[in-house]
Structures are given as C-alpha cells and as structure tokens.
Amino acid sequence: MKRQRGHKVRLYLTPDQLVTVDDQGHGARAMWNLLHELWQMTPKCQRSLARMDEAIREARKEIPWLGAVPAQAAQAVLKTYHRAWVNSWKGRAASPTFKKRTSRRAVDIPQGRDLRITRLSGHWGQCWVPMVGLVKFRWTKDLPVGKRADKLNRVTGARLVKEANGWHIVFRVQTEVDEPKPHMGGGVGIDRGINKPLALSDGSFREHGEWLRPKEKERLRRLERTAARKRDHRKPGERNSNRIKRTFDQIKQLRARATRRALDWQHKATTELADTFGVVGVEDLTIANMVRSAKGTVEAPGKNVRQKAGLNRSISGEAWGRTVTMLEYKLADRGGHLFKVPAPNTSRRCHACGFITEGSRESQARFVCKNKTCGWSGNADTNASFNVEIATRNTAPQDIVGARTWSLSRWAGREASTTHPVAR
C-alpha cells in the first residue's frame, strides 16, 4: 500500500540565505492576505481560481517584495487558500482569516524534483531551495533519493516552516509498503487526564515530568514579567522596540523547547502502546468545547473563571488530540485498530457494578463507589479507563474484539451497564 509521511529537519542557512528565506516567508504571508482581501471584495458570482491566479501573476510583476516568492510557491498559496474555503464549506474548519505578522511563516516547494536532495555524509545532507540555493540539513532519516527513488518511493515535495529556533524543512515522503499483518496484541482502554496523562485499563500509567526544569520555568516567568512591563510603557500605536522583540524571541524559544519535549514524550509513549496493543479504545472528546473560556457575558458572567483558565491551560498542554492522532496512524501501520467511544459518564460510572452513584468521585484522583452492594475503590482515572475498555468491547466489531485478550476478561459485571440509571 502507499504511505505518505512528513519528515521534518532543521536547515542550516548562511546569513544571506536566511535573509532570502525570511523575505519569502513574509511575502507568502502577504500574498495570503492580499488574496483574502481580493476574495472578500469580489462578488460571489465572479470568484474563481483563474481570476485569483491572474491577480497573483500581476502582483508578482508589479510589487518587488512579492516577486521574492517563487512562482510555484505563490501558486501553492492560492491552492492552500482555496482548500481552506473548501474545508470551511464542508464544515471541517473555520473560515480563512487574515494572517498576522506574528503568525507562523511557511513557504511551499510543491515539486519534489526541484529539491535535488543529496547525502553529503553520515549526518549531513543538502537540498536545493528555489531562489535560495543549496542548503545543508541534518540527515536523521534515510530518504528515497538518488538510485533508491522511483515512482512509488520518492520525495513528492516539501514545505519550509519558521520555528522559534530557526527554519526547518518538512519533506513529503511517499513510500510503498506491504499491507501490515493483523496485530494480535491485547486490547486496552485509555483515559486521558491531567494528573495521570494516560491511564490504562491494565492498571498502569504513562506519565511525564514537567516540560521545563525549575530554572527554565523561573527564567520564563522573569521574561514574561519583563515583556509585560515593556508593553505597559509603550505608547498606543508605537511599534515594538528591538529589545522587546528580543524578549519575545526568548519567550518563544523556551516555549518551543517545552513543545519539543512534549512531542518527544508523546512519540515514545504512543510507539510503545502501538507495539504492545492491537486494539486501543479512547474517549471521543470534543476538546475545543472543553477548553472554552468560562467568562460568559456582561449580563451573565461566568463562575470560577480563573480556575477554568488554569484547567484549560493544563488540557492544552497535554495535547490530547495529538496523542490520539499519533496512536491512530501508528496502530494502522502495525495492523492494529483504534476506536473512539462515547465519553459521557466514563469518569462517574463505577465499572464494577455499572451504576452512577452521587459522590463516588471523591476527588480528582480517587474513586469510591457509594453503591452499598459494591464499594469498589481505586484510582479515578483507572476506573474511567475500565469503562472505556468496556465500551470498546461492546461497540467494536466482535471479530476484532474477540480475537484478543483484555485486561477485564475476568470481569463479571453486566455488559449492559451503560444503560443503568443513577443510583441514589
């Protein structure tokens, strides 16, 4: 089967190349904004890709700094913008908006043949970036280039992206692989949380420490206070000084370091889970609704706004959606399956008796069933993972579920417990 993956590496640019790539990034962002303005001004009956394409060609001829964007990259901006509207019309995303100067800069290289990727040594490679020249990058993964490349195994394109620690290139790699054999590992339910990032229904946990060390967290707080003080002393409408820009860059670098550590942990944890289990069940959470602000309106202000803001930051810091995305494609590569089950009451229901009893969730970490005929007690996240496993076994196809061992295979409770009323 055909597999498409992205491979991201850091570019090592010379000072002149850095200036050129920065100009391309700003030009691509400006082109997006000009397209957005033109789209809004054009009557609906006259909007078309051909009209927008003609506008791009004229703009690149007349405006020098737009001419810094390669022609194919400019066409890619138009295609990406149109695709954003298609996703909006189909309800998959919000409508495209104006891109701020602080937004993430990116430049497309649509054709893989233009990259001319070569390996220089065991740890270094180089590629061709249009209007920039040959650029060195760290060779961290074998790419299908040179004699190893063919119609089915090749680099189909790339994208330059600006991160806090410099410019990176993301290669789009297409490879032909054999269909994976069915993964006969056991099944498990996983509950995602804050105190316990991943709680498994076999009773184990996957945990991590703080993303930033104590000294790094203190430095981040100090930089944020400095930035706030400098903002307060700035006159309305005044542009940022070089010193406050430098402070913002230092804050970005620290936050990017925390993000890289979180990504590293997520990759290691999800790879281990995908290697071990053949079927994984998770809650089908609407995370965007969970992290909404509790401010409310002037007429109906919200309650516990500061506490809710702290919870929202914790949820966003765990990146639950990214964890599920990683698990999904890694399980598929290994012949496993991931199922999403309904989330309501998984943390309130006792898995042992199947009842929802008021007061059973004693705290964020402890669950004690108040049903007089049960009395099960244990970690609240583990109980939720048991409920996720039960829901997965009840809803997933039986030919997949029945072929595997489960941590609750000896569970003697009622399989239809999800329909039981609240016990008082």
pLDDT of residue 413: 41
Token pair recorded at residue 350: 């006792």
pLDDT of residue 401: 82
In the three-class reduction of DSSP (H, G, I as helix; E, B as strand; rest coil), residue 286 is classed as coil
In the predicted model, is pLDDT for residue 83 greater than 60?
Answer: yes
What digits encode the pLDDT tens for the residues 174-214? Answer: 999 888 898 888 889 999 988 889 999 888 899 999 999 99
pLDDT of residue 412: 37
- Which of 9-18, 133-142, 185-194, 366-375 has the least mean pLDDT? 366-375
In the predicted model, is pLDDT for residue 138 greater than 60?
Answer: yes
What digits encode the pLDDT tens for the residues 23-75? Answer: 999 999 999 999 999 999 988 888 888 888 888 888 888 888 888 899 999 99
User: What is the percent of the chain where pLDDT is above 70?
Assistant: 93
What digits encode the pLDDT tens for the residues 278-317? Answer: 999 999 888 787 777 767 655 666 666 777 777 778 888 8
Q: Is the Cβ–Cβ distance between 276 and 252 less than 8 Å? A: no
Token pair recorded at residue 400: 């997949």
Distance CA 193, CA 266 (A): 14
pLDDT of residue 297: 57
Please, what are the domains in the chain?
Answer: 1-179 (no CATH), 186-209+261-423 (3.30.420)
How distant, in Å, are the alpha carbons of 160, 212, 268, 284 from that of 343?
A: 38, 31, 26, 6
The amino acid sitting at 208 is H
In the predicted model, is pLDDT for residue 17 greater than 90?
Answer: yes
274: left (phi over 0), alpha (psi -120 to 50) or beta: alpha
User: Average pLDDT in the 128-142 region?
Assistant: 93
What digits encode the pLDDT tens for the residues 334-353? Answer: 999 999 998 888 888 888 88
What digits encode the pLDDT tens for the residues 373-403? Answer: 788 888 888 888 999 998 898 888 888 887 7
Q: Are strands 118-119 and 124-129 parallel, antiparallel or unpaired?
A: antiparallel
pLDDT, mean over the chain: 86
User: What is the percent of the chain where pLDDT is above 90?
Assistant: 46
Q: Is the pTM of this model over 0.75?
A: yes
pLDDT of residue 280: 93
